[in-house]
Amino acid sequence: MQINSTPINPPPKLLDQVRGRIRVKHYSISTEKLYVQWIKRFILFNGKRHPAELGATEVEAFLTHLAVDGHVSASTQNQALSALLFLYKEVLVMDLPWLENVVRAKRPVRLPVVLTRTEVRAVLVRMKGIYALMANMLYGTGMRLMECVRLRVKDVDFERGEIVVRDGKGGKDRVTMLPSSVVAGLQAHMQQRRALFEDDRAKGKADVFLPDALARKYPNAATEWPWQYIFPSGSYSVDPRSGAERRHHIDEKLLQRAMKKAVQAAGITKLATPHTLRHSFATHLLEAGYDIRTVQALLGHSDVSTTMIYTHVLNKGGLGVVSPLDQLL
């Protein structure tokens, strides 16, 4: 006698649940990869036991292992802890009092690396093409690396001389200036970008990633010019989330490598990266006498205390202190 039974779909695997929850929360793809990586390492460290069977002792042992055996920095250790907190709170939905008592590693307070104006100029003149344009924009606007990489056509207002930075750190939007010195180069680049867009559209591959639910709300927006990335990838790639083949934005590592070569060619011994241009932007504005609240708004800092770090870089502390040795001599 044959019994008809409806097959029961097995529940998704734990890491797939993690990915699903991250996407519901609209976290970035880079955060998704990092969280999955840390959770996988935590499970392997504990002999592939399910995290629901583990507790504070295992979490603290894992974090200690990272610091003692892995020699990771405090920020990396805290990154791993954030991934585990997300796992227990958002995925396993376990109300565990010990979660709040796990001590985060104290991050050392370090001054940011800042280039002088002469050093910035020496780096920028040694960069070519699209990387030179992007580096000039980083220094001229104070944008973070990924904020520049993810710029879309609609975010630049040439008439008003403004750039709208969308979905910055903390999911906040802000407005910064568009330096007049990059306008001509950016407009020339946009003409080339428009030609590439028309070629993609002719091939039926002008579709671009849209955040959140915009693709459903505006079904045609993904193939329209205003939503295109200003700095596109040189080839098509498969979206790891949707599986769609499309032209994504440029890989940020390419700009990082180009700047590293320029810094070395300029003979600068400071460990300067594209983010150093943002630090230099803030420091040079304060040196020029701009109000710290103005600089805070341009950088997108939620608290002015974060911006205050640049007054320490200036070594003025708000008092304009002169060394007694300089006064003596």
Q: What is the 3-state secondary structure (H, E, C) of the chain?
A: CCCCCCCCCCCCCHHHHHHHHHHHCCCCHHHHHHHHHHHHHHHHHCCCCCHHHCCHHHHHHHHHHHHHCCCCCHHHHHHHHHHHHHHHHHHCCCCCHHHHHCCCCCCCCCCCCCCCHHHHHHHHCCCCHHHHHHHHHHHHHCCCHHHHHCCEHHHEECCCCEEEECCCHHHCCEEEECCHHHHHHHHHHHHHHHHHHHHHHHCCCCCCCCCCCHHHHCCCHHHCHHHCECCEEEEEEECCCCCCEEEEECCHHHHHHHHHHHHHHCCCCCCCCHHHHHHHHHHHHHHCCCCHHHHHHHHCCCCHHHHCHHHHHCCCCCCCCCCHHHHHC
* Sheet hosting strand 156-157, strand order edge to edge: 156-157, 162-165, 174-177
Residue 288 CB contacts under 8 Å (≥ 6 apart), including other chains: none
Q: What percent of the chain has pLDDT over 90?
A: 52
Pick the catalytic residue: 169, 201, 205, 248?
Answer: 169
Residue 185 CB contacts under 8 Å (≥ 6 apart), including other chains: 133, 136
Residue 217's pLDDT is 81
Active site residue 169: yes
Quote the pTM value. 0.80
Q: What is the DSSP letter of 317?
A: T
Residue 51 phi/psi, 5-degree rounding, is -55, -25
Residue 226's pLDDT is 95
Instruction: Give CA–CA dist 21/32, Å, rounded.
Output: 10
Going by C-alpha positions, the residue among 223, 216, 278, 212 that lies closest to residue 246 is: 223
Residue 248's pLDDT is 92
174-177 and 245-249 as β-strands: parallel, antiparallel, unpaired? unpaired
pLDDT less than 50: residues of the chain: 1
Active site residue 279: no
Instruction: Give 117-313's CATH code, choosing from 2.40.30.30, 1.10.443.10, 3.40.50.360, 3.40.50.300.
Output: 1.10.443.10
Residue 60's pLDDT is 84
Pick the catalytic residue: 150, 246, 284, 301?
Answer: 301
Q: Is domain 14-101 classified as CATH 1.10.150.130? A: yes
Reading the block at residue 26, the tokens are 């609209």
Active site residue 275: yes
Going by C-alpha positions, the residue among 153, 143, 155, 148 that lies closest to residue 282 is: 143
Residue 313's pLDDT is 75
Instruction: Indicate the residue type of 178.
Output: L
3-state DSSP assignment of residue 304: helix
Active site residue 229: no
Pick the catalytic residue: 19, 144, 279, 284?
Answer: 144
Task: State CA 242 to chain mean position distance.
Answer: 21
Crossing angle, helix 74-86 and helix 29-45, to 10 degrees? Answer: 90
Residue 1's pLDDT is 46
Active site residue 106: no
Active site residue 189: no
Cβ(278)–Cβ(143) below 8 Å:
yes
Domain ranges in the chain are 14-101, 117-313
pLDDT tens digits, 43-66: 999 999 999 888 888 888 888 888
Pick the catalytic residue: 21, 193, 246, 278?
Answer: 278
